[in-house]
Amino acid sequence: MLPKQAEITLLALPAALTVGLALSFAWPTPTALFLTALAGLLPPLWRLHREQAALAALATQAQTQKKETWDFIRRIINVIPYPVYVKDARSCYVLFNTAFELDKAKSYEQLIGRDGLAPGSSEEAIRLHYLEDGEVLAGRTIYKEEHRNHAVTGQELYRVITKGTCSDPTGEPVIVGVRFYVTEQRIAQRSAQEALERETALREQVQQFVQRLIDVIPDPVYIKKTGGRYVMVNDAFAEYRHLDKSYIVSSAYPPPPAPVDVLTRQASIEEDNSVLVGGEILKEEHVIRKATGEEVFRIVCKRHSIYFDNEPVIIGIDHHITRWRVAERELQRLAQQDALTGIANRRHFREEADRAIDRAERYGEPLSLVMLDLDHFKHVNDSYGHQAGDQVLLETVSRINSCLRKSDIAGRWGGEEFVVLLPHTDAAEALFAAERLRTALAASPILADANALTITLSAGFAQRLAGETLDSFIARADTALYQAKNSGRNRVVGFPTDNPAPINANNEVSI
């Protein structure tokens, strides 16, 4: 670079030389002036040329630097495995990475400077495209997920698109976009969701089948989890509880127990907890339902199992056997009781008497027996009919029962003949007991078919001897009974014992 003074001198030199030549060769004045002017123009023209060359060099250098800068940026974003692109303010691509080219299935030349809209895009699509880019340039950040098929391959794609804005190296605003493909994850999620839905549907179908299955069972069936929460019950269970199934399996059930039921509820929870850890319950219960007063016999079975969600549960069934137990009890009653009067029949009386004799023999306790027979009962049947006779028998048993203790045992021996066993009773006490029975029957008439009938009885009693059998015991009392009937009826006679009750010379008890 020349000094400023030297550069001015060199620029003025052509004009000075031209003036010198014109003077030396005596050129015409117009020619001299023209050549001088022309020579004066040469230095500025040369300087302009040199400046233009310098500017061109600077422009070339700037272009080279810009290209190197963009190439460097391109090399950086080429490392990113996701499609990345840069658009200018006109929504045209100015930079993108290799992954973007592969995603678009187009070359650099086909993409650079283009807006990226697919051929044949609708006006609405074009409008939305430019609208969105305009919003990004205005500062909005776009984050969205798209589900579509690839425009070239038709492959199903899930991708997350982000768009933001920044300034390029020259300070111009640009749009930077990135596409993250999440196809594998979304397909995996979808497959998992479909599998879950299939499993849920299958579970619902299985659960519905199980519900239909247990609804067929006529006895209450239930499935319970920890804390006594029901998760499934059948129709019979809901009917027994007089509740809807939906309420029973809801969180509102069971309600808090009444104070009197706290211990019962606690015992039930402890029993359930033992089943949840692998135990088993099998028991028979006899309960009276509070709501209805209904008597219920049931066999309760509780066993451990695993529910659909792999939690332990209790499978319970209450096998109701009320009708069988009631039938058994009725059969037992029929087998033990007299069908008409309800007191012990002859067979059951003998069973109870044998047990009483065993106790008396073991503990050395006194035991007495009274045989009773209604006087002239055949006359009642013949004169008033058997229905009237039955009414007489029923009233007789009622009056007998009113005179006995809870420990005494009354039985119908046959026809109009009855027998009463008196534990802890000696002969003297038996006399008073038999007399009380005789008096109770004779005290007032019995109403039978609107007829007031005066009925009396004859009685014979005996105190059991040590080691005496039941048959011998009964035979002695029966002998005393016949003595009472042969002595005029409506009286009591005691059979003599080692410690006899007071009797007259005819072995009759004084009345």
Nearest 10 degrees: CA dihedral of 418, 424, 427, 428? Answer: -110
Tokens coding 6: 């030297």
pLDDT tens digit sequence for 88-127: 989 899 888 888 888 888 888 888 888 888 788 888 888 9
What does the pLDDT average to over 245-269? 79
Mean pLDDT, the chain, as a whole number? 85
Q: Residue 511: which pLDDT band, with cuts at 50, 70 and 90?
A: very low
Task: Give the pLDDT confidence score for residue 492 in this predicted structure.
Answer: 96
* Most confident by average pLDDT, 260-269, 312-321, 329-338, 500-509: 312-321
Strands 492-494 and 457-463: parallel
Asked whether residue 285 carries a pLDDT value surpassing 50, the answer given is: yes
Say which residues have a Cβ less than 8 Å from residue 345's Cβ, sequence separation at least 6.
335, 336, 337, 338, 339, 411, 412
Residue with tokens 């001897």: 465
Conformation bin of residue 320: beta by default, left when phi > 0, alpha when psi is -120 to 50: beta
Task: Give the pLDDT confidence score for residue 42 in this predicted structure.
Answer: 59
Task: Give the pLDDT confidence score for residue 211 in this predicted structure.
Answer: 92
Residue 138: Cβ-neighbour burial (10 angstroms; 0-12, 13-18, 19+): exposed
Task: Give the pLDDT confidence score for residue 74 in this predicted structure.
Answer: 82
Task: Give the pLDDT confidence score for residue 43 in this predicted structure.
Answer: 64
Asked whether residue 40 carries a pLDDT value surpassing 70, the answer given is: no
Instruction: Give the integer Cα–Cα distance in Å for 42 and 44.
Output: 6
* Chain centroid to CA 387: 62
Task: Give the pLDDT confidence score for residue 293 in this predicted structure.
Answer: 81
pLDDT tens digit sequence for 416-475: 999 999 999 999 999 999 999 999 999 999 998 889 999 999 999 999 999 999 999 999
Q: Residue 489: which pLDDT band, with cuts at 50, 70 and 90?
A: very high
Asked whether residue 305 carries a pLDDT value surpassing 70, the answer given is: yes
- The end-to-end CA distance of the chain, in Å, is 172
Task: Give the pLDDT confidence score for residue 23 in this predicted structure.
Answer: 64
Strands 156-167 and 221-225: unpaired
Asked whether residue 510 carries a pLDDT value surpassing 50, the answer given is: no
Task: Give the pLDDT confidence score for residue 452 in this predicted structure.
Answer: 92
DSSP 226-273: GGGEEEEE-HHHHHHHTS-HHHHTSTT-SPPPPGGGHHHHHHHHHHHH
Task: Give the pLDDT confidence score for residue 221 in this predicted structure.
Answer: 95
Q: Is the dihedral of CA 359, 361, 366, 368 positive or negative?
A: positive
* Chain centroid to CA 46: 100
Task: Give the pLDDT confidence score for residue 16 in this predicted structure.
Answer: 64
Which tops the pLDDT comparison, 72 or 16?
72
Task: Give the pLDDT confidence score for residue 501 in this predicted structure.
Answer: 45
Of 447, 433, 476, 344, nearest in space to 397 by CA: 344
Asked whether residue 490 carries a pLDDT value surpassing 60, the answer given is: yes
pLDDT tens digit sequence for 359-409: 999 999 999 999 999 999 999 999 999 999 999 999 999 999 999 999 999
User: Cβ–Cβ contacts within 10 Å for residue 303, how many?
Assistant: 15
Which tops the pLDDT comparison, 149 or 457?
457
What does the pLDDT average to over 57-86? 79
Lowest mean pLDDT across 219-228, 243-252, 320-329, 491-500: 491-500
What does the pLDDT average to over 240-244? 90
Side chain identity at 156, as an amino acid letter? E
Say which residues have a Cβ less than 8 Å from residue 136's Cβ, sequence separation at least 6.
142, 163, 164, 165, 175
Task: Give the pLDDT confidence score for residue 497 in this predicted structure.
Answer: 47
pLDDT above 70 coverage of the chain, percent: 85
Asked whether residue 20 carries a pLDDT value surpassing 70, the answer given is: no
What does the pLDDT average to over 164-182? 88
Q: Residue 15: which pLDDT band, with cuts at 50, 70 and 90?
A: low
Task: Give the pLDDT confidence score for residue 509 in this predicted structure.
Answer: 40
What does the pLDDT average to over 183-197? 89
> Is the pTM higher than 0.75?
no
Asked whether residue 24 carries a pLDDT value surpassing 50, the answer given is: yes
Task: Give the pLDDT confidence score for residue 508 in this predicted structure.
Answer: 41
User: Cβ–Cβ contacts within 10 Å for residue 163, how many?
Assistant: 21
Q: Residue 413: which pLDDT band, with cuts at 50, 70 and 90?
A: very high
Q: If residue 205 lies in a helix (H) or strand (E), which one and from where to where?
A: helix 183-216
Instruction: Give the integer Cα–Cα distance in Å for 409 and 427.
Output: 17
* Most confident by average pLDDT, 18-22, 196-200, 452-456: 452-456
Task: Give the pLDDT confidence score for residue 9 in this predicted structure.
Answer: 60
Q: Residue 264: which pLDDT band, with cuts at 50, 70 and 90?
A: confident
Asked whether residue 62 carries a pLDDT value surpassing 80, the answer given is: no
Q: Which letter, b or e, does each residue of 92-123 get, where b requires 16 or more Cβ atoms within 10 Å of its Cβ?
A: ebbbbbbbbbebbeeeeeebeeeebeeeeeee
Tokens coding 219: 């006895």
